[in-house]
Chains A and B, each alone.
Chain A
Amino acid sequence: MKKNYNPDSGLLTICLLMTLVIAIGAGLLISVESSNPLETLMFYVRDGFTSAETPDIGGEVLDNGEDTEPDFIAPDISFPEVTTDEVIDVPETTLSPETSVQTPETTVNGTETDRTPETTKKPPETTVKPPDTTKIPETTKKDETTSPVTTQPPVSDEEYFSDVLFLGDWRTVGFALYARIPGATYFARTSMNVSNVFDKKVSETSDTSSYDLAGLLSEKKFGKIYILLGINEIGYSYSWIVNNYSKTIEYIRMYQPDAKIIIQSNMHVTKKKSDANPNTFSNARIDELNSRLSKLADGKNIFYLGFEEIFDGPDGAMSPDYSGDGVHLYGKCYKLWRDWIKANGKIY
């Protein structure tokens, strides 16, 4: 194998240079949008091997937190006339005065964080609390203020989850795969965010893999819809996220006027991940977003469940024991989430 120089004395070098020149030249000539791998490659070469491709989420997250935000994808409205009475007006109208004050920055090391607004104009708070809550950290007690208010007796899990839809991004895919609540329906997709929930793509979960969301919502009636969104778009402005979140809820309610909408808090990321991404995946941003999302709740049709702490370590960030990449959970950890929902997250 030694010293076997190819006898073409430079042909390969010349061919490589030629293809390089062709790639750059063609990249300069052809249209702006790349539509196939070859064109993508040419653009890549032309642009000096910088990946200018925008992330799949539909807009560009800039380092400084300013963004070119994607447009909201509205569903084709193809369902019988519905009145959209309540909801939507964010944030002031549904809030009690004190909640319009921005909650302070969260502090680490387990200090109390006052991020849950007091939606005090509520019927008496008779939260149903099953006795077995041993696994749940005590922090959850605080969050019950926006948690379900119930006037009905508890029903069995089977019965309760039979008309539940879990909606969300990869985390909800994982929830479907590893929490496996009997009877529940899931609609979840990697890279789902508040602006693309209603695009034409189908769910990645096996039970709904033949539907896009509009299709599923027109087909099946749900009593409770649990939403977990926000981590993919965490680099965008809060107002953009909250606006689109509320639009998403609005559209869901156009399909399902009787369904209760439950906003689930975004869980934290690990400290390492948070520190590495101060303008995107930072726990400070996640806390602020959760706080703003919680204000979408009206206590009648829209509820907020704050349980991000259940995965936290002592430093107030997600424990590294729960996640390999710092953001999404190990398979074995989804049961914490499921058990919390079963114990504290039922809405009647």
Chain B
Amino acid sequence: MTFYSPGFIFGFLPIFVVLYALLGSKLRSPILFFGSIVFYWFASGGAIMSMAVILSTLLFNYAAGLFIGIAEGRMKKVLFSFCTVIDAAALLSPKVMAIISDSFSASLPDSLVIAAPIGFSFYIFKNMSYLRQVYDGKIESEQSFFAIGAYLLNFAQVLSGPIQTYADFKKSRAECKVSLASINGGLYEFIIGLALKILLADRIIRVWTAGLYGINSIGVDSISTPLAWLGFFAFPLYLYFEFYGYSLMSRGIGMMLGYETPDNFLYPYISRSVSEFWRRWHMTLGEWFKENIYFPLGGSRCSVPRTLFNLTVVWLCTGVWHALCFDGNGVNFMLWAAFLLFFILLEKLEVLKFITENKILSHIYLPIVILFSWMIFNTNLPTLGDLGAYVSRLFAVGELPEYVNANDWIVHVKDVGIFMAAGVIFLTPWPRNIYEKLKANKFISILLMLVLFWISVYFIFCEGANPMVY
């Protein structure tokens, strides 16, 4: 079950929200906890091992929080470090086991090689941030198991974030209340997120994934140069609307359940430097790295070489974290992180000041760097070999090899051209600004939501109803 499955939209979510609203506020943590377990059970396809791993780490961190809360001085520090290392090891172990198993041709028994539970990297980061906040004294350790369980397993955030801190979650839950107005407000965000994901992201990614004529089907070394460039723009657009759409849906669900969710995206493509882009892209992850790695290392309040070192550590971890989120060997993710780090360091050293402070140059510089960074990141090009083959098609000159169909891109322009054009407009704040003005008119805004919602449902249906034919 994902946010986009009919079972969630028409089954789980409405039932859960009604129950949650009707039951008194005392029961809300338990019901959110148990509801999230049900959701996770379906989302992970009933994987008992995943459930066991998730619940045992939950128990561990609940206890860890309690102990760190009462410990003092040196003991507190030792406890905190120990528990954080355990969490990090839990996060890394599935990948490490898989790599060991691969390199030594399955010498490990199957029971040891466990696939990472779905959403595990987000989930563990929330655990670690909770321990950090307790250790720093920003919050008291949570006594109620259900309260911490509801926070960590919260179905609105367990699959792909946002990585909300416990302090923020607790405070906002105490301030907001569940009402018909809040549910209604949440529906708006939910529908907008759904439409961005279904009507933009899922359409646009077809350049890569469409059966028969998508880049993945043709094979990356047999695509024409125009198609390669179409794919070059399609993947970043997809990635943004996929993740932004999800984040808005998560935010909408949060509203329905009576808490505020932190922003995860703030129009990153209008940024003027790579550093700014990453303050506007996946913001809760950036916050996490800042709070849990960058600041503890000293941040930028130390010598220049030390600051550069701190940034390097943060981006190394960012690369590793993304490699953990996806399949593949992870080499491309490390290359991706190094590529971005290079520009961030240059920006930090103010070498690129003449670009980032120039109104025109900065808006040329940023998209170029970011688009190429997503090309390295592209999960459809899992190995360095694939990436190399793709780049050689992207910049191919001279005679067309016989195994390339020069017209393979035309069908895609017809298929997704309009969605990509719309996608570019939706990178800017304009559509949202227009929408905020429209909101004053109930009739128009409700009509818009109904249309978006049912068109999205129709597209979900179409995806499900068309089996692959050859």
Contact surface of A with B, Cβ cutoff 8 Å:
1-13, 15-16, 19-20, 23, 37, 40-41, 44-45, 49, 51, 53, 55-57, 169-171, 173-174, 177-178, 180, 190-191, 231-232, 324-325, 327-328, 330-335
Measured CA separation A69–B347 after assembly (Å): 65
Measured CA separation A177–B410 after assembly (Å): 13
* Residue contact B469 to A12, C-beta cutoff 8 Å: no
Measured CA separation A170–B219 after assembly (Å): 16
In the complex, whether B223 has a CB less than 8 A from a CB of chain A is yes
In the complex, whether B212 has a CB less than 8 A from a CB of chain A is yes
Picked from B402, B449, B470, the residue with its CB within 8 Å of the CB of A232 is B470
* Residue contact A13 to B183, C-beta cutoff 8 Å: yes
Picked from B7, B219, B442, B457, the residue with its CB within 8 Å of the CB of A324 is B219
Measured CA separation A202–B221 after assembly (Å): 30
Q: Which of B59-95 contact A (CB under 8 A)?
A: none
* Residue contact A170 to B403, C-beta cutoff 8 Å: no
Measured CA separation A8–B306 after assembly (Å): 53
B182: chain A residues within 8 A (beta carbon): 5
B211: chain A residues within 8 A (beta carbon): 325
Picked from A7, A16, A44, the residue with its CB within 8 Å of the CB of B450 is A16
* Residue contact A170 to B470, C-beta cutoff 8 Å: yes
Measured CA separation A324–B405 after assembly (Å): 17
> What 14 new A-B contacts, CB under 8 Å, besides A16-B450, A190-B212, A330-B221?
A1-B263, A5-B185, A6-B445, A12-B188, A37-B458, A40-B458, A49-B461, A51-B464, A55-B467, A173-B212, A324-B219, A328-B217, A330-B219, A334-B403
A1: chain B residues within 8 A (beta carbon): 263
Measured CA separation A5–B466 after assembly (Å): 38
Closest to A206 in B: B407
Residues 362-386 of B, flagged 1 when their CB comes within 8 A of A and 0 if not, give: 0000000000000000000000000
In the complex, whether B10 has a CB less than 8 A from a CB of chain A is yes
* Residue contact A331 to B446, C-beta cutoff 8 Å: no
Measured CA separation A56–B212 after assembly (Å): 15
Picked from A40, A177, A190, A232, the residue with its CB within 8 Å of the CB of B461 is A40
Q: Does more than half of chain B's interface fall in helix, strand or loop, or is it mixed?
A: helix
B221: chain A residues within 8 A (beta carbon): 330-332
Would you mind naming 6 contact pairs between A and B with Cβ atoms under 8 Å apart? A5-B181, A12-B450, A13-B184, A23-B454, A41-B461, A331-B403
* Smallest CB separation, B127 vs chain A (Å): 26
A19: chain B residues within 8 A (beta carbon): 450, 454
- On chain B, the number of residues with a Cβ less than 8 Å from chain A's Cβ atoms is 47
B470: chain A residues within 8 A (beta carbon): 169-171, 190-191, 231-232, 327-328
* Smallest CB separation, B213 vs chain A (Å): 9
* Residue contact A10 to B180, C-beta cutoff 8 Å: yes
Q: Take A12-B188, A191-B470 as given contacts and tell me if A2 and B219 are in contact as well, using a CB distance cutoff of 8 Å.
A: no
* Residue contact A4 to B222, C-beta cutoff 8 Å: no
Measured CA separation A45–B453 after assembly (Å): 13
Q: Which of B245-292 contact A (CB under 8 A)?
A: 255, 260, 263
* Residue contact B405 to A177, C-beta cutoff 8 Å: yes
* Residue contact A8 to B446, C-beta cutoff 8 Å: yes
* Residue contact B6 to A10, C-beta cutoff 8 Å: no
A335: chain B residues within 8 A (beta carbon): 402-403
Measured CA separation A30–B421 after assembly (Å): 37
Residues 429-459 of B, flagged 1 when their CB comes within 8 A of A and 0 if not, give: 0000000100100100110011001100110
Q: Which of B1-29 contact A (CB under 8 A)?
A: 6-7, 10
Picked from B7, B219, B255, B442, the residue with its CB within 8 Å of the CB of A331 is B219
Q: Take A1-B263, A5-B184 as given contacts and tell me if A178 and B222 are in contact as well, using a CB distance cutoff of 8 Å.
A: yes
Closest to A3 in B: B260
Closest to A331 in B: B222
In the complex, whether B360 has a CB less than 8 A from a CB of chain A is no
Measured CA separation A45–B216 after assembly (Å): 33
* Smallest CB separation, B358 vs chain A (Å): 29
Measured CA separation A51–B466 after assembly (Å): 9
Measured CA separation A326–B161 after assembly (Å): 33
B468: chain A residues within 8 A (beta carbon): 325, 327
* Residue contact A10 to B184, C-beta cutoff 8 Å: yes
In the complex, whether B297 has a CB less than 8 A from a CB of chain A is no
In the complex, whether B391 has a CB less than 8 A from a CB of chain A is no
Measured CA separation A9–B187 after assembly (Å): 11
* Residue contact A330 to B222, C-beta cutoff 8 Å: yes
* Smallest CB separation, B258 vs chain A (Å): 11
Closest to A9 in B: B181
Picked from A2, A51, A171, A333, the residue with its CB within 8 Å of the CB of B465 is A51
Measured CA separation A319–B387 after assembly (Å): 21
* Smallest CB separation, A204 vs chain B (Å): 10
In the complex, whether B404 has a CB less than 8 A from a CB of chain A is yes
Q: Take A12-B446, A49-B10, A177-B405 as given contacts and tell me if A191 and B469 are in contact as well, using a CB distance cutoff of 8 Å.
A: yes
* Smallest CB separation, B240 vs chain A (Å): 17
In the complex, whether B142 has a CB less than 8 A from a CB of chain A is no
* Residue contact A12 to B454, C-beta cutoff 8 Å: no
Closest to A168 in B: B470
Picked from A8, A170, A325, the residue with its CB within 8 Å of the CB of B184 is A8
B216: chain A residues within 8 A (beta carbon): 324-325
A9: chain B residues within 8 A (beta carbon): 180-181, 184
* Residue contact B405 to A6, C-beta cutoff 8 Å: no
In the complex, whether B140 has a CB less than 8 A from a CB of chain A is no
A7: chain B residues within 8 A (beta carbon): 181, 442
A15: chain B residues within 8 A (beta carbon): 446, 449-450
Measured CA separation A37–B223 after assembly (Å): 33
Closest to A1 in B: B263
Closest to B212 in A: A170
Q: Which 3 A-B residue pairs are closest in the complex by CB-CB distance?
A: A331-B222, A330-B219, A49-B6
* Smallest CB separation, B332 vs chain A (Å): 18
In the complex, whether B98 has a CB less than 8 A from a CB of chain A is no
User: Which one of B222, B260, B442, B464 has the greatest number of beta carbons of chain A within 10 Å?
Assistant: B222
Picked from A8, A327, A328, A330, the residue with its CB within 8 Å of the CB of B442 is A8
* Smallest CB separation, A46 vs chain B (Å): 12
In the complex, whether B352 has a CB less than 8 A from a CB of chain A is no
Q: Which of B171-227 contact A (CB under 8 A)?
A: 180-185, 187-188, 211-212, 216-219, 221-223
Q: Take A44-B461, A49-B7, A328-B470 as given contacts and tell me if A6 and B184 are in contact as well, using a CB distance cutoff of 8 Å.
A: yes
